[in-house]
Amino acid sequence: MPKITFSTTGQTYEVAEGTAFLDFCQEHDAPHAFGCTVGSCGTCVCVVEAAAGSVNAASTDELDTLEMCTDAAGARLGCQLKVHGDVTIKPAD
């Protein structure tokens, strides 16, 4: 099963393949902030370290929102993220 690790706390969770990161965080009170939950506010921005294919590809709309809120390499919107393999979630400073 894929694992989600939060770099800020060191906590690691096993999740089902294809789990929506938003759903996981809401169900497990995980340490990640969300706002709109639909990919437009940028509150959930984070840096994802993952092997190729471990997360879904960013949509054009997600890339547009990311462009407005960060230039961090590996940045993603947590509310748009689906987990297919091991990932580490870091703050997007």
Residues near ligand FES (CB under 6 A): 34-37, 39-44, 65, 77-79
Run of H or E residues at 5: strand 3-6
Strand 3-6's sheet: what is its strand order? Answer: 12-14, 3-6, 87-91, 45-50, 75-77
Q: Which is nearer to ligand FES, 43 or 88 (CB)?
A: 43
Q: How far is the CB of 84 from ligand FES (least distance, A)?
A: 19
Residue 1 or residue 68: which is nearer to ligand FES going by CB?
A: 68
Provide the minimum distance between the beta carbon of 69 and ligand FES in the complex, in angstroms, as a whole number.
8
d(CA 67, CA 76): 10
